[in-house]
Amino acid sequence: MGLLNIIRRMSLREKLSIREISRRTGLSRNTITKHLNAGTIEPQFTTPDRQSKLDLFADKLAGWLKT
């Protein structure tokens, strides 16, 4: 579960103060306030498609596995 979701849950469902959320998460009160006011969704980072180091040898390895 993402950190933003944890902060929102503590604030909205558990009705904790920003100071208490700060104590439990170890983040500063300014950071927590920024996340609560932003209203953004948890950022999702995409990983670029990269070639594997084994892609060059895939045919040879597949041949070895067949035998």
Judge whether residue 42 has pLDDT over 70: no
Q: Confirm whether 65 is domain-assigned.
A: no
For range 47-63, the mean pLDDT: 88
Judge whether residue 62 has pLDDT over 70: yes
Q: Annotate 51-62 with b (16+ C-beta within 10 A) or e (fewer).
A: eeeeeeeeeeee
Q: Confirm whether 47 is domain-assigned.
A: no
Judge whether residue 45 has pLDDT over 80: no
Q: Tens of pLDDT along 1-41?
A: 588 888 989 998 999 999 999 999 999 999 999 988 887 77
Q: Confirm whether 12 is domain-assigned.
A: yes
Q: Confirm whether 56 is domain-assigned.
A: no
* Domain ranges, residue 6: 1-41
Judge whether residue 44 has pLDDT over 80: no
Q: Confirm whether 16 is domain-assigned.
A: yes
Q: Confirm whether 17 is domain-assigned.
A: yes
Q: Confirm whether 57 is domain-assigned.
A: no
CB atoms closer than 10 angstroms to residue 10: 19
User: How many domains does the chain fold into?
Assistant: 1
